[in-house]
Amino acid sequence: MPKELRATAAWRISIWTTLAFALGTAVAFSIVYFLVAQGLRERSDTWLTGEAETLAQVSADTPSDHLYKRIVREVAELATQEVPDERNARGERLNSVFFLATDPNNSESPLWVGPSSEDAFVTAIRRSKLVPGAPKSIAVDGLRETFRVVVKAQNGRTVYLGLSDRGATRMLHRLAGRFLMVWGGMFVLGFLISYWSARRTLLRVERITETVARIGTEDLEERLPEPVNSDEISRLAKTFNRMLDRLQSSVNQLRTVTGAVAHDLKSPVTLIRGTLESALCDEGNEKWRDSVGEAIEGLDRLSQLLNTTLDLAEAEAGALHLDRRPVDFSDVVRQLVDIYQPAMAERQHELTANLEEHVVVDADVTLLNRAVSNLLENELTHLPAGCRVEIRLHSRQGSAEMVIQDNGPGFPPDIVSGAFKRFVKGEHSPGHGLGLAFVDAVAQGHGGVARISGHAGSGAVITLSLPVHVLQAVAT
Amino acid sequence: MDWREVPMRLLLVEDDVSIQQFLKRALVEAGYLVDAASTAKAGEAMALEGIHDAFIIDLGLPDLDGLDLIARCRAQGSSAPVLILSARRSVDERVKGLEQGGDDYLTKPFALPELLARLRNLIRRSAVPQNESMRLQAADLQLDLVRREARRGEQLLQLTPQEFALLEYLCRNEGRVVTRTMILDHVWRMRIDPATNVVDVHIYRLRSKVDHDTPRPLIHTIRGVGYVLKYA
């Protein structure tokens, strides 16, 4: 049994319904079985009682002469003929009935009509302490079936009449056998039908899930097909569509707002920057040059912060425009390592890269560049001088995993859980706390994940995993 | 250079009057003839005269989106390259689309040297390609682009491939300021915006080799803007 099948809701639903169905039918059958068994017993008891009375009468009325035994025996044998199924398919007598008449006043041997193993019956009867008038089942040594026995006492003579339960047992066995056959059939058929219908229904849910997952990462324009009928699943699709409408409108609103904020804030910054730059180019104001340069650098930091904040706002709302193409992740990391290597060396850090070749991801190259460069910036800003930083990249089970690890002081314990949140940063961190939040948002936008591990004091480990490009995923 | 002799004519469409003025001044100083418009409507009318070598268009115009303005100009047969000025960020999909269409964009706020560099690139791209030289020379610095060798005077400089690429880029822009963003973009093909001094460290290292033991340094820092290669 494939594991995926067992994990489906359709499988569980059909198992439970089939079990409930099987249990219900089993209970219903038990009741029927019990009623039939009772009916059969009543029928045999009525026959036994009636016949025993007749035989007792005959036995009482017949004088105890030398003919007594012959007369009573014949009457008893006649009675046994009335029993159905007395002869089997080959015509042999099955001895379903026995008859025993005793006379306590008479020492002669009792009168016995029935199977040849008389002694076994007599022992069984003695053992079971029969009360006149109440039929009782007794087990006879050497025989499988029990015998139903009724006692009648008249004129000092006691008459025992026994009827084998074989007929009733056979009938009940046949009934149970048939039921088991039908029950098994119903079990299999019921399971198949409920599995089929549950699967059919849940496949519609599955399609909704797939569509919504695709909409979530790619395009908010798409909608689920809304079927004409209005069952629960159609209502689910409709509800999702309404939700997507709202989501789309708030994303659009956010884009409008971030656009407007960017425009309104950046126009003055552009103007100030341009003016300062023109002032810088003027010859003759040497003594202002450093101050003006510093002001420009400050403005650049401001607009950088502004950009990152706006990007992050969009990224966290899933409103980033992703221009996804196959990108050689290995190349991106190698280039960035090249760029950061000298700055790392200047702080006596040892930066090593261990990159698997040609790990291709479906990514927006601008965002990927910035995410990886944010991670390197992070190392550069937070590590005390003279640390080791290692970047590893490899593809594993359909995902490209980049690990950046250092042997610095690690993340302060109070920010580990929230390091990917906006503005969460260490107490003494010089950054603004947006870098890692942006990395996380980019990872999520690409259907990947960013993780932090490592404890305070043992270095920081950040893992960025992204799904690899489809063709490469197939090839490996 | 020939574009200095026959001045290029630019169309600048920017609704913010102050920005428009300072841009116009900077462009005129750089040797361009500039027509400026504050609205898309006026800009479109000017563009259709067909006398401009390039357009500089701001995306946030009051009457029409800058992208629509470009589309309308294109539809009416105007083929001049466009440099987009955008307050939107580099992650904007529509702006990226433009970059692939052969035009270019610059996000606000920008450094003037970068604006001028992108403009030069655009105009050069649309003009007849020049003969690529095998050598570059700036003062007593010589670069052999085939053998990837650099000499300062008689001295052969021991440069890594990266340092050579960086020096080549500075050399090609001799006398012009290049920003850190431009360096990252041209030498490493990366449009990133590091907050740390990664580019500066590359320059320091290069400078220690190029301007080592010389009374006349070539590589200069322009605080707040970037770097320039020139004889002071």
A280–B222: do the CB atoms touch at under 8 Å?
yes
Average pLDDT of chain A to the nearest whole number: 83
Interface of B to A at Cβ within 8 Å reads: 16, 18-19, 22-23, 25-26, 60, 87-94, 96, 107-112, 162, 184, 188-199, 201-202, 205, 222-225
Of A295, A322, A335, the CB nearest to B188: A335
- pLDDT interval class at B5 (50, 70, 90): low
Cβ–Cβ below 8 Å for A275 and B22: yes
* Greater model confidence, B91 or B103: B103
Considering only A6-20, A102-116, A342-356, A435-449, which range has the smallest mean pLDDT?
A: A102-116
The predicted structure's pLDDT at residue B205: 93
Domain boundaries, chain A: 3-171, 232-316, 324-475
Query: Inter-chain contact B112–A259, Cβ cutoff 8 Å?
Result: no
With an 8 Å Cβ cutoff, are A307 and B224 in contact? Answer: no
A320 vs B contacts (CB less than 8 Å):
91
Q: Residue A247: what pLDDT?
A: 84
Under 8 Å between Cβ of A448 and A467? yes
What spatial distance separates the first Cα and last Cα of chain A, rounded to whole Å? Answer: 26
- Predicted pLDDT of residue A455: 67
Decide if domain A3-171 falls under CATH 1.10.3470.
no
Give residue-wise pLDDT tens across range B47-63.
888 889 999 998 878 88
CA distances from residue A33 to A123, A136, A177, A183 in whole angstroms, order as listed: 32, 20, 11, 14
Residue B190 Rama label (left phi>0; alpha psi -120 to 50; beta): beta
3-state secondary structure of A220: coil
Please indicate whether, in this complex, the C-beta atoms of B89 and A336 are within 8 angstroms of each other. Answer: no
Please tell me the predicted confidence (pLDDT) of residue B4: 47
- Determine the topology of domain B2-126 in CATH: Rossmann fold (3.40.50)
Same fold: A3-171 with A324-475: no
Confidence category of residue A32, pLDDT binned at 50, 70, 90: very high
**Which of B56, B84, B91 should be substituted to probe chain A, the one whose Cβ sees the most A Cβ atoms within 10 Å?**
B91
**Contact assessment for residue A50 and residue A189, using Cβ atoms and an 8 Å cutoff:** no
H or E segment to which residue B185 belongs: helix B180-188
Provide the pLDDT confidence category of residue B126 given band limits of 50, 70 and 90.
low
List the domain boundaries for chain B: 2-126, 135-229
pLDDT score of A253 more than 80: yes
Most confident of the following: A141-150, B75-84, B158-167, B211-220: B158-167
Q: Per the CB < 8 Å rule, is A346 touching B89?
A: no
Q: Residue B97 pLDDT more than 60?
A: no
pLDDT, tens only, A37-76 = 999 889 888 888 888 888 888 877 877 777 777 888 888 7
CA atoms within 13 A on the CB side of B136: 20
For domain A324-475, the CATH architecture is: 2-Layer Sandwich (3.30)
Q: Which stretches does DSSP call E strand in A89-200?
A: 97-102, 111-113, 136-138, 147-154, 157-164
CA dist B146 and B59 (Å) reads 42
Say which residue, A105 or B209, is predicted with more confidence.
Answer: B209
Winning range, highest mean pLDDT, from A56-65, A99-108, A410-419, B193-202:
B193-202
Q: What is the pLDDT of residues A277-294, one digit of tens each?
A: 888 877 666 778 888 888
In 3D, which of B11, B101, B8 has the Cα closest to residue B47? B11
From chain A, the residues in CB contact with B225 under 8 A are 277, 280, 293, 296
- ipTM computed for the complex: 0.83
Cβ-Cβ contacts under 8 Å, B62 against chain A: none
Q: What is the pTM of this model?
A: 0.67
Higher pLDDT among residues B155 and A110, named by residue = B155
Average pLDDT of the residues of chain B: 85
- Residue B158 has a CB neighbour count (10 Å cut-off) of 9
* pLDDT at residue number B2: 47
In terms of average pLDDT, the best of A173-182, A427-436, B83-92 is A173-182
Closest partner residue to B162 (CB to CB) among A293, A338, A364 is A338
Q: Which of A108-122, A218-232, A366-380, A426-440 has the highest mean pLDDT?
A: A366-380
Check pLDDT > 70 for residue B21: yes
CATH 1.10.10.10 fits B135-229, yes or no: yes
